[in-house]
Chain A
Amino acid sequence: MVDADPQPTEQPAQQPLLRMRGIVKEFPGARALDGVDLEVRPGEVHCLLGQNGAGKSTLIKTLAGAHQPTAGEILIDEEPVVIANPVAALRLGIATIYQELDVVDGLTVAENIYLGHELATGGVTRRSEAARNTRKILDRLGHKEISPHREVGSLPAAGKQIVQLARALSRDARVVIMDEPSAVLDSEEVGNLHRIVRELTADGVAVVYISHRLEEIRQLGDRITVLKDGRTVAESLTVADTPTKELIQLMTGRSVEYAFPDRPGVAEDAAPVLQVEGLGLGDVFADVSLTVRAGEIVGLAGLVGSGRSEILETIYGARKATSGTVRVGGKRLRSGVDAAVSAGIGLCPEERKSQGLILDEPVYRNITLSTFSRMARAGLLDERAERAAAREQVEALDLRPAGVERSARTLSGGNQQKALLARWLVHGCRVLLLDEPTRGVDVGARAEIYNLIRRLADDGAAVVVVSSEIPEVLGLADRVLVISDGKAVHEGPAREIDEHAVLDLVMEGSVA
Chain B
Amino acid sequence: MSQRSALMGPALRMGGLVLALVLLVVVGVATGGERFWSFGNFTTILSLAAVIGVVSIGMTFVITSGGIDLSVGSVLGLASIWASTLATQYAAEDYGWWVIVVTAMAVGLGAGLVNGALIAYGKVPAFIATLAMLAAARGLAEIIAGRRTQVVQVDAFFDVFQAKPLGLPVIVWIFVVVAAAGWFLLNRTTFGRRTVAVGGNPEASRLAGIKIKRHTLYLYALSGLAAGIGGVMILARTTAGSSTNGLFYELDAIAAVVVGGTLLVGGRGTITGTVLGVLIFATLTNVFVINNIDSSVQAIAKGAIIVFAVLLQQWFASRERVSAT
Contact = CB atoms under 8 A, between A and B. Distances in A.
Bind each other: yes
Interface string B1-29: 11111100000000000000000000000
Interface residues of A, number: 45
Contact of B211 (A66, A338, A353): A338
B209 interface: yes
B190 A318 contact: no
Contact of B3 (A361, A405, A423): A405
Contacts of B209: 337-338, 340-342, 370
B239 interface: no
B325 interface: yes
Interface string A339-383: 011100001010001111111111001000110110010011100
A29 B5 contact: yes
B200 A359 contact: yes
Interface string A385-410: 00000000000000001010111011
B147 interface: no
Most buried by A among B189, B200, B204, B325: B325
B288 interface: no
B267 interface: yes
Contacts of A361: 196-197, 200, 267
Contacts of A365: 193, 197
A358 B204 contact: yes
Contact of B207 (A318, A376, A380): A318
Given A318-B207, A341-B209, A361-B197, A407 B267 contact: no
Nearest to A66: B323
Given A318-B207, A405-B6, A423-B208, A360 B268 contact: yes
Nearest to B201: A358
Given A318-B207, A370-B208, A409 B191 contact: no
A100 interface: yes
B2 A381 contact: no
A376 to B, nearest CB: 5
Nearest to A361: B200
Contact of B205 (A28, A61, A358): A358
Contacts of A316: 207
B166 interface: no
A30 interface: yes
Contacts of B206: 318, 337
Nearest to B191: A379
Most buried by A among B1, B6, B188, B192: B6
Contact of B208 (A100, A369, A409): A369
Contacts of B267: 358, 360-361
Interface string B238-274: 0000000000000000000000000000011000000
Contact of B190 (A67, A359, A372, A409): A372
B134 to A, nearest CB: 27
B193 A372 contact: yes
A29 B2 contact: yes
B300 interface: no
A338 B210 contact: yes
A340 B203 CA distance: 16
A405 B325 contact: no
Given A337-B207, A337-B209, A370-B208, A28 B2 contact: yes
A369 B197 contact: yes
Interface in A59-78: 61, 66-67
Contacts of B205: 358, 369
A30 B3 CA distance: 11
A318 B207 CA distance: 7
B188 A381 contact: yes
Contacts of B189: 376, 379-381
A365 B201 CA distance: 13
B204 A409 contact: no
B6 A355 contact: no
Contact of A357 (B3, B201, B323): B201
Interface string B21-53: 000000000000000000000000000000000
A409 B1 CA distance: 17
Interface in A323-343: 336-338, 340-342
B200 A358 contact: yes
Nearest to A401: B2
B322 interface: yes
Interface string A6-45: 0000000000000000000001111000000000000000
Interface string B96-124: 00000000000000000000000000000
A331 B268 CA distance: 39
Interface in B156-211: 188-194, 196-197, 200-201, 203-211
A66 B324 CA distance: 8
Contact of B322 (A28, A349, A357, A358): A28
A365 B195 CA distance: 13
A376 B2 CA distance: 27
Nearest to B322: A27
A349 B201 contact: no
Most buried by B among A100, A316, A356, A401: A356
Nearest to A349: B207
A358 B206 CA distance: 12
B120 to A, nearest CB: 13
Contacts of B5: 28-29
A379 B320 CA distance: 31
A341 B206 CA distance: 10
B90 to A, nearest CB: 39
Nearest to A354: B203
A164 to B, nearest CB: 15
27 contacts: A28-B320, A28-B322, A29-B1, A29-B5, A61-B323, A67-B323, A336-B211, A337-B206, A338-B211, A341-B209, A347-B207, A353-B325, A355-B204, A355-B207, A356-B207, A357-B204, A358-B196, A358-B204, A360-B200, A361-B196, A365-B197, A370-B210, A373-B194, A379-B190, A406-B2, A407-B6, A409-B325
Given A347-B207, A381-B188, 20 more contacts: A27-B322, A30-B2, A67-B323, A354-B201, A354-B203, A356-B204, A356-B207, A358-B196, A358-B197, A360-B200, A369-B208, A370-B208, A370-B209, A372-B193, A380-B188, A381-B190, A403-B2, A406-B3, A409-B321, A423-B208
What 7 A-B pairs have minimum CB-CB distances, sorted nearest first?
A341-B209, A29-B2, A358-B200, A369-B208, A370-B208, A28-B5, A29-B1
